[in-house]
Amino acid sequence: MAGKPLNAGVVTAAVIGNALEWYDFIVFGFMTVVIARLFFPSDSDYASILQTTATFGVAFVMRPVGGIVLGLYVDHAGRKAALTVVIALMLPFGQSFTALTSVICC
């Protein structure tokens, strides 16, 4: 690996993907109060914010776990199959998040 030159396209794609993921975490962090109010209603504002922050922490911990699991799957099945699995996993959760937001918000 030490003798191989870096492919600029691969490095650029990795940087863009990482930047978008960090953007997602930053937006979640800034929107903590709004998310707490909408998704974790409670008598105590602190309890709602704590639950939202715990959700943020779980996502942060699961990021490397998902990388390890999907990395093993990619080694076994290939990139195309792994991308299909990732999209199939994200689709129902994205749809449910959208549906819940519209029900709770409006």
Q: Return d(Cα 88, Cα 94) in angstroms, integer.
A: 10
Per residue of the chain (106 residues), what is the pLDDT tens digit? Answer: 566 777 888 889 889 988 988 898 888 889 888 888 888 888 888 999 999 999 888 888 888 898 899 899 999 999 899 989 989 988 998 888 788 776 666 5
Structure confidence at residue 2 (pLDDT): 63
> Are 29 and 52 contacting, i.e. CB atoms less than 8 angstroms apart?
no
Q: What is the pTM of this model?
A: 0.60
**Angstrom distance (rounded) from CA 33 to CA 86:** 29
At residue 22's C-alpha, the angle toward residues 17 and 26, to 5°, is 150
* Token code pair at residue 49: 């914010």
The pLDDT of residue 1 is 54
pLDDT of residue 104: 66
| H or E stretch at 60 | helix 45-77
Amino acid letter, residue 84: T
Would you state the pLDDT for residue 90? 87
